[in-house]
Structure 1
Amino acid sequence: MHESDTGLRARLVQVGVDLVTAEGAQALSLREIARRAGVSHGAPRRHFPTHLSLLSAIARRGFTDLGDRATKALGTGGASPRGDLETLGRVYLDFALTNTGMYELMFRHDMLRSDELGLRETSLPLFGVLVDLVGRARPEADARLVAGSLWANLHGIAQLWSWGSLQLATGADDFGPLLATALDAHLGPDRR
């Protein structure tokens, strides 16, 4: 039985997702993905013209997963914008720290820079949620700039935490106090 082109494309992406989850972004070679998918090393090129286009399809799955987690966590409603930002920050940091290979792949500069790979339409909606929440928490501020700064802060926390640097420097054993401090820095002190 011959597998459909759509089925093989989906299988190559799933193998890539499984591989990045188990072994990290550095393990994502076309040859290894093809081997694990049980196809010739040239087969991925029929569905993905470049290695980068296959990596982009794998990274899109990461952005979709992160977006789904954020939607689910924020779906309960009723929280203040700051409370929702704390929830979103926790989801982001938890994702980054429990899916390190996928997180690294998702934010590779070469993929995010290229319009043709389609990552912008999967990554920008989540940033839009962040901008909306910041705008509601700080209506007097330029929400895009504050959201960008907060995102950079969260990204830095994730990276430095994964390296063990923040635990060493701060003595923290949980990223929660760092998240609270980042929110205070960007939104002002919590007045609850």
Structure 2
Amino acid sequence: MPLEEVDETETGLRARLVDVGVDLVAQEGAQALTLREIARRAGVSHGAPRRYFPTHLELLSAIARRGFAELGKRASAVVEHGDGPAPAREQLASLAGAYLQFALDSRGMYELMFRHDLLESGHLGLRDTSLPLFGRLVELVGVARPDLDARLVAGALWANLHGIAQLWNWGSLQLATGAEDFAPLLHAALDAHLGSGE
């Protein structure tokens, strides 16, 4: 009898493989995401994932899509709260803070989500999950600073936030700046890209 349960639906096994991948990346990082290890932890034969994900890249993309969905939920939660919309700069600070906190809380997933080879694969649908968040960043920058090219400033700000996240996760920024949390760095990045807040 094969390792897979015969009564499990295709969508059920597909979801289970992704669930296992999400757990694995959280525990051991992106480098642990091999088809063989995911299959072993899912309790299926090592060839089973290929029936649902013909390439390793497609399975990694499905796992990363879960990360983008979680990041999107966190971003929405901090931007769309309260009695009414906060000023754009305040929303940007909240959005950027949620992004950095996600990078701290989900280091392995964060690393996987921003691998260039995954984002480059437009036919896998990952851009459909990742670009709306960038679009929101562009929109808020445009409201906060209508005199600037919002797309370029948002791109530079995102690159800055990504650098903060990576260097913070590696311990480099704490060592270099003596900062105990990333909030001062976040505010400095916003000031650098948007000008000093009132």
Smaller-chain TM-score bracket: over 0.9
Alignment map for 1:13-162 (pairs within 5 Å): 13-76=18-81, 77-162=84-169
Runs (4 or more) in structure 1 with deviation over 3 Å come to: none
Residue 113 of structure 1: CA displacement?
A: 1.0
Which string of whole-angstrom CA distances, capped at 9 and with x for unpartnered residues, describes residues 89-142 of structure 1? 110000001100000000011111111221100000000110000000000111
SS at match of 1:10: helix
SS at match of 1:2: coil
- What is the rounded CA distance, in whole Å, between the counterparts of 2:51 and 2:133 in structure 1? 31
SS at match of 1:78: coil
Q: Are 2:188 and 1:181 aligned?
A: yes
Which string of whole-angstrom CA distances, capped at 9 and with x for unpartnered residues, describes residues 34-92 of structure 1? 01111100000000010010000000000000001101111114311000000001100
Number of the residue aligned with 2:8: 3
Q: When the two structures are superposed, what TM-score results if normalisation uses the length of structure 2? A: 0.95
What amino acid is aligned across from residue 195 of structure 2 in structure 1?
Answer: G
What amino acid is aligned across from residue 78 of structure 1 in structure 2?
Answer: P
Gaps of 5+ in 1: none
- What is the rounded CA distance, in whole Å, between the counterparts of 1:70 and 1:78 in structure 2? 14
Number of the residue aligned with 2:177: 170
What amino acid is aligned across from residue 19 of structure 2 in structure 1?
Answer: Q
Aligned residue pairs: how many?
Answer: 191
- What is the rounded CA distance, in whole Å, between the counterparts of 1:172 and 1:40 in structure 2? 48
- What is the rounded CA distance, in whole Å, between the counterparts of 1:164 and 1:10 in structure 2? 34
Q: When the two structures are superposed, what TM-score results if normalisation uses the length of structure 1? A: 0.98
State the Cα RMSD in Å.
0.8
Gaps of 5+ in 2: 1-5
- What is the rounded CA distance, in whole Å, between the counterparts of 1:110 and 1:36 in structure 2? 25
- What is the rounded CA distance, in whole Å, between the counterparts of 1:181 and 1:9 in structure 2? 43
